[in-house]
Amino acid sequence: MALYSEKVMDHFRNPRNVGTIADADGVGQLGNAVCGDIMKIYLKIENEIITDAKFETFGCGSAIASSSMATELIKGRPLSEALQLTNKAVAEALDGLPAHKLHCSVLAEEAIQAAIKDYYDRRNDPTGSRPA
């Protein structure tokens, strides 16, 4: 059995949503000191809906694939749904990740939560559906 699924390899070789959003409404950046991966997620939001999501990731193939899949999963979704995205859902959408690479999907989940928190912080909105 191959170490990586075809979906992981596809999102690594042909990542979706790579880049930045100059006028992003929310930006989240996280890093993993153990492996050295750094993930930055940019969100464009209109009426509480994520209309665009982009990423910049410095890291391994699993980190790039997780970033790519995570942005695909949240585009067009309400913020409340995007906040529910779990690392497990990202890994499942990629048809699995090796156990020692699951931290990459966790990084994607947490970077999205950080970007949404940044959106609410910028709006100074104490009633928004903020991540914990």
Nearest to 79 by CA among 18, 123, 37: 123
Q: What is the pLDDT of residue 118?
A: 96
pLDDT for residue 132: 46
Whether the per-residue pLDDT at 106 is higher than 80: the answer is yes
Q: Is residue 104 among the annotated active site residues?
A: yes
Give me the residue label for tokens 């950046």: 29
Mean pLDDT of 1-20: 91
List 64, 104, 111, 112, catalytic entry: 104
- Identify the pLDDT of residue 32: 75
User: Does 35 participate in catalysis according to the annotation?
Assistant: yes
Unique residue bearing structure tokens 């999501």:
53
Q: CA–CA separation, 36 vs 88, rounded Å?
A: 21
Distance CA(50)–CA(19), nearest Å, equals 16
31-35, 41-45, 52-56, 73-77: lowest mean pLDDT where?
A: 31-35
Residues 30 and 118 sit within 8 Å (Cβ to Cβ): no
Give residue 126's pLDDT.
58
From 35, 49, 60, 89, active-site residue: 35
Sheet holding 38-46, edge to edge: 26-31, 38-46, 49-58
pTM here?
0.90
